[in-house]
Amino acid sequence: MEVGICKQDMLQKKKNAVLVDGVILNGPIMDSKAGEKFVEEACKIIMEEVIQKANDVTEKVCEWRAPETLKKILDLEMRDTGESHQKLLQLCQDVIQYSVKTSHPRFFNQLYAGIDYYSLVARFITEALNPSVYTYEVSPVFLLVEETVIKKMIEFIGWEEGDGIFNPGGSVSNMYAMNLARYKFCPEIKEKGLSGLPRLVLFTSEECHYSMKKAASFLGIGTENVYFIKTDERGKMIPEELEKQVQRARKEGSAPFLVCATAGTTVLGAFDPLDEIADICEKHGLWLHVDASWGGSALISRKHCRLLHGIHRADSVAWNPHKMLLAGIQCCALLVKDNSGLLKKCYSAKAAYLFQQDKFYDVSYDTGDKSIQCSRRPDAFKFWLMWKALGTTGLEERVNRALALARYLVEEIKKREGFQLLLEPEYANVCFWYIPPSLRKMEDGPEFWQKLHEVAPIIKERMMKKGSMMLGYQPHRGKVNFFRQVVISPQVSREDMDFLLDEIELLAKDL
Amino acid sequence: MEVGICKQDMLQKKKNAVLVDGVILNGPIMDSKAGEKFVEEACKIIMEEVIQKANDVTEKVCEWRAPETLKKILDLEMRDTGESHQKLLQLCQDVIQYSVKTSHPRFFNQLYAGIDYYSLVARFITEALNPSVYTYEVSPVFLLVEETVIKKMIEFIGWEEGDGIFNPGGSVSNMYAMNLARYKFCPEIKEKGLSGLPRLVLFTSEECHYSMKKAASFLGIGTENVYFIKTDERGKMIPEELEKQVQRARKEGSAPFLVCATAGTTVLGAFDPLDEIADICEKHGLWLHVDASWGGSALISRKHCRLLHGIHRADSVAWNPHKMLLAGIQCCALLVKDNSGLLKKCYSAKAAYLFQQDKFYDVSYDTGDKSIQCSRRPDAFKFWLMWKALGTTGLEERVNRALALARYLVEEIKKREGFQLLLEPEYANVCFWYIPPSLRKMEDGPEFWQKLHEVAPIIKERMMKKGSMMLGYQPHRGKVNFFRQVVISPQVSREDMDFLLDEIELLAKDL
């Protein structure tokens, strides 16, 4: 190590050029003025190309390119030397051009869509501030905001008190809950692990999100120990079947510990009967977790909160405001009824370098040890700013309108030839087949269904290549490929619903 | 459900006012012009208050307020009705004012700091586009970018091929690796779980990150089955001790499956001797994971990559470019040497609604099923744009400069009275005590150490309340509270190092 200080006192009194290991250490190495200018220019592009075009239906939802083609268009390679600002701005343009516009009024492909200007501002603020929410000293504002938002969400669930944590997604929230239920069931597992214990068994419906299997596998419980409960024709868990399975598990000598009900299933948008499920959980002493990642936002609506009747009896709830409420990916809370510090007891590792106990402020505000993460993003903040801007009434209006639009679409589907509903929806998932002209007179039978199965992928390919809209399809529990239309965005109107049906007819007229 | 269509053909030919459930469904309900204006005004505040002040040392690092006071200042409550844009802009101002400026040249509190303008632009783009990287159809650009970045990172590790996934943090990366190693050891655990199996045991150093314990507990392995290996006086794992512990585990009849080495420990910045550890892993058939969350970025530097000598022999590596490389929280990759699809086999749940196999494009680009998450943020993109902008050379310069500055600080500490190094650092963690005037002549003994233990918290309180800088302290493995200075930001210069020492002296002169 060479430390060479070249004294140039004559020229620079204060700023000596200090050289260590061949590196000059005086002054910053970044040109901040040029950097700020770059940010300004890029923000202009973002404003014009993304934000202002967000609800322009004359724009394409996507500019489809196959992977190999897109690789050629984008200059992906990272090289030894950097690119000019001009080249970088062009790259930003290209990235935007070939990305899917999830805020477009005709993006119906996932359980999120649209743009909320307030949430977006909050996200820009946090990206610029770059906080991590583990300790009050580093994230004073964002930790207080998280506490406030969690309290408010708990109010809507109907608990008198509780706890919670924002985390990176509904899947992770479900994992949190599963581990928490396990800890409650047997706290020693934290130290001892599952080895040598009887099989832990949990119950969830056949229609649950796939994260239940991922969680059971990740947590060492095993996917075979997830007992899937039969659902009725609307996709709701059948309580009697749950009762049977719990009894079966007991007879097998395994250890049932958890029921995961779903409020708003991914494909059909079904709500499990929470009140009846809660009775069974109470009877058998099982933790009740409700995966309301998708359906939780209905709690904001006085009209539709009845869909989640009984949720106040749950022990934990996963709820993603980034879905129907448009808080932006990712914004997901796990909420817990317990207020005795269970979350902290279960998750804490007491790292001394971060959670010092001799700090000069009340360290109960250092909530990072409730998390499986160390660095954690301030996701509650975007939901908070949006809520401040719209008020509860504005959020409620979003939910009511989405469900009214779904209702409208359902009635239109019933009127139109060639469209067939899979079932009457309860929520914003409208599932339907489109039967193209050539199949309409075909006899019902395996050949018909096989041919119908091939229709949705073709229509999807055509809409993607045209860029006119995006709509998901899937086969599901013995049913051949059907479309799942999800209505979310407040930019969406009746006209977009009509367009959707017209466009399917247009794209499939020769099929 | 009432569907009432009020025909107003005379006035509006095309746009009928459609009313469903009391909701008017025509046109969007958001005023997008007002929304856009709000975004523009807020961006101006962000530009002026956060970005342009990022490297202004005359600004405070933090405007400290105690939790109860801050609650009163911020209007946290969410109400039924929304607030005006003016009020919201004021709120944004307040949020910024009372947040810690992690980009400030005198923020040395965590393993991240500073601002990178290119990464920031990338983050603004992704917040505006709001993508989720699970399928190519929804995230074509971001999935290709992730693939490219992962390939490049693998090159720097020195593997010929590999796989990987960006995920929400180093802690989660370590969990991924632990589960992957377990799957490799015994694939049946995915379905069967750990019940009835012998105790799985893993090894990591005493100085490892606390996420190892969190992971072992979360994955059902149990914290007691993490065998902590002794380290030498510099905090490096002692290979002979590892060998002993593996043999002890075998004798106990437990099942060793994994060694987690650390490249860049959290407190001391120590690097485990990877090559020797790899020998032991090879001999015993153990998976070698390297937690290089902090130290991984040294791989970019031709001068300092020797710190990770032997890393190419690892089976998996966690590496967070959001730390020393300034990619912005969160930007974390888990990288895996295996290229036979192990990551996918271990994690897939094959959700038919998302990962349809009859899509019209090559579905091998739908990488979402390698993740424990469903929605996932495009974190690779910010690293990519930054890399494009700076080139490998620019990234390398960042690492070299940070380590040279740390070196400079060490030499200054040695020169100054009252400062005492804990140990010669290998990396950018400079750990030291400040012995205030009143303690300098005290005899070494329990009383001295007890008094010294109380010094750092007082200095910390004073610097926070003054807002002049932020620097972490902790007790560690029998050593009383000492400061840990971490040098990262390219905005930081020799002058800031001098300031740091001057300021400590100033704050503690009466102690």
ipTM of the modeled complex: 0.96
Averaged confidence pLDDT in chain A: 94
Instruction: Chain A: give the shortest CA distance to residue B360, in Å.
Output: 6
Of A128, A46, A103, A117, nearest to A385 by C-alpha is A117
Question: N- to C-terminal Cα distance for chain A?
Answer: 74
**Which residue of chain B comes nearest to A124, CA vs CA?**
B124
Question: Distance between CA B173 and CA A364 in Å, rounded?
Answer: 27
Contact A222 B349 (CB under 8 A): no
Strands A470-476 and A107-108: parallel
Which pLDDT belongs to residue A25?
Answer: 85
Residue B195 touches partner A, C-beta closer than 8 Å: yes
Do B223 and A191 lie within an 8 Å CB cutoff? yes
- Nearest by CB to B80, which of A352, A391, A454? A391
Taking CB atoms and an 8 Å limit, are B102 and A131 in contact across chains?
yes
Cα-based distances in Å from A358 to A354, B456, B472, B481: 11, 10, 13, 10
Strands A255-262 and A287-291: parallel
Give yes or no for A76 touching B (CB within 8 A): yes
Residue A7 — very low, low, confident or very high, per pLDDT cuts 50/70/90?
very low
Cα distance between residue B236 and residue B269, in whole Å: 9
Residues in chain A: 511
The Cα B215–Cα B178 span in angstroms is 8
Tell me whether residues A99 and B400 touch, CB distance under 8 A.
no
What does each C-alpha distance from B305 to A143, A337, B149 come to in angstroms? Answer: 37, 48, 19
Query: Is the pLDDT score of A15 beyond 80?
Result: no
Chain-chain contact of A52 with B66 (C-beta, under 8 angstroms): no
Interchain contact, A50 vs B129, CB within 8 Å: yes
> How close does chain B come to A76, measured CA to CA in Å?
7
Q: Does A216 touch chain B (CB under 8 A)?
A: yes
**Which of A170, A270, A194, A278 has its CA nearest to residue A230?**
A270
Q: What burial letters (b/e) apply to A229-262, b meaning 16+ CB within 10 Å?
A: bebeeebbbbbebbbebbeebeeeebbbbbbbbb
What are the pLDDT digits (tens) for A255-291? 999 999 999 999 999 999 999 999 999 999 999 999 9
Tally of CA atoms within 13 A in the half-sphere of B462 that contains its CB? 14
The answer to whether B216 and B178 have CB atoms below 8 angstroms apart is yes
Best CA proximity match to B354, nearest among B138, B127, B126, B129 = B138
Cα–Cα distances (Å) from A182 to A193, A290, B171, B461, in that order, read 11, 15, 21, 39
3-state helix vs strand vs coil in chain A, percent to 5: 45, 15, 40
pLDDT attached to residue A4: 39
pLDDT tens by residue, A467-487: 999 999 999 999 999 999 998
Is residue B359 less than 8 Å (CB to CB) from chain A?
yes
Is omega for the bond preceding B356 within 30 degrees of 0, making it cis? no
Asked if B23 and A54 come within 8 Å (Cβ–Cβ), the reply is no
What's residue B214's pLDDT? 96
How far is residue A52's CA from residue A21's CA, in Å, rounded to a whole number?
49
- Report the residue of B127, B150, B365, B488 to disrupt the A interface, i.e. the one with the largest count of A CBs within 10 Å: B127
Query: Cβ separation of A484 and B353 shorter than 8 Å?
Result: yes
- With a cut of 90, say whether residue A20 has pLDDT above it: no
Q: Report the DSSP pairing between strands B419-421 and B332-336.
A: unpaired
Please say if the pLDDT value at position A50 is more than 90.
Answer: yes
Q: Is B6 on the interface with A (CB under 8 A)?
A: no
Phi and psi torsions of A141, nearest 5°: -65, -45
* CB contact B172 to A (< 8 Å): yes
In the DSSP assignment, the letter for residue A48 is I
- φ, ψ for residue A114, nearest 5 deg: 85, 180
Tokens of B105: 């040249």
Closest Cβ opposite residue B124 in set A43, A141, A373? A43
B392 touches chain A (CB under 8 A): yes
How confident is the model over A157-169, as a mean pLDDT?
Answer: 97
Task: Calculate Rg over the CA atoms of chain B.
Answer: 27
Q: Chain A within 8 Å of B273 (Cβ-Cβ)?
A: no
Residues of A in contact with B195 (CB under 8 A): 194-200, 222, 225
Question: Which of B26, B36, B55, B195 should be substituted to probe chain A, the one whose Cβ sees the most A Cβ atoms within 10 Å?
Answer: B195
Q: What is the pLDDT along chain B (511 residues), one digit of tens a residue?
A: 333 344 444 445 445 678 888 888 887 777 899 999 999 999 999 999 999 998 899 999 999 999 999 999 999 999 999 999 999 999 999 999 999 999 999 999 999 999 999 999 999 999 999 999 999 999 999 999 999 999 999 999 999 999 999 999 999 999 999 999 999 999 999 999 999 899 999 999 999 999 999 999 999 999 999 999 999 999 999 999 999 999 999 999 999 999 999 999 999 999 999 999 999 999 999 999 999 999 999 999 999 999 999 999 999 999 999 999 999 999 999 999 999 999 999 999 988 888 999 999 999 999 889 999 999 999 999 999 999 999 999 999 999 999 999 999 999 999 999 999 999 999 999 999 999 999 999 999 999 999 999 999 999 999 999 999 999 999 999 999 999 999 898 889 999 999 999 999 999 999 9
Residue from B30, B175, B507 to probe the interface with A (highest A Cβ count within 10 Å) = B30
Q: Which of A219, A365, A397 sits opposite B220 (nearest CB)?
A: A219
Burial bucket for residue B282 (CB in 10 Å: 0-12, 13-18, 19+): exposed
What is the share, in percent, of chain A residues with pLDDT greater than 90?
Answer: 91
Order of strands, sheet of A107-108, starting from the edge strand that comes earlier in the sequence? A107-108, A470-476, A479-486, A429-434, A419-421
The token duo for B11 is 């006035």
**Dihedral (C-alpha) B348, B354, B360, B364: value to the nearest 10 degrees?**
-20
- Closest-CA distance of chain A to residue B502, Å: 15
Shortest CA distance to B366 belongs to which of A472, A427, A252?
A472
What is the phi/psi pair of residue B452, to 5°?
-65, -35
Q: Which string of DSSP letters, residue by residue, matches A451-483?
A: HHHTHHHHHHHHHHHHTS-EEEEEEETTEEEEE
Closest residue in B to A406 (Cα) is: B20
d(Cα A139, Cα A119) in Å, to the nearest integer? 19
Nearest beta carbon to residue A28 from set B222, B403, B491: B491
Query: Comparing C-alpha atoms, which of A27, A10, B416 is closest to residue A18?
Result: A27
> Whole-model pTM above 0.90?
yes
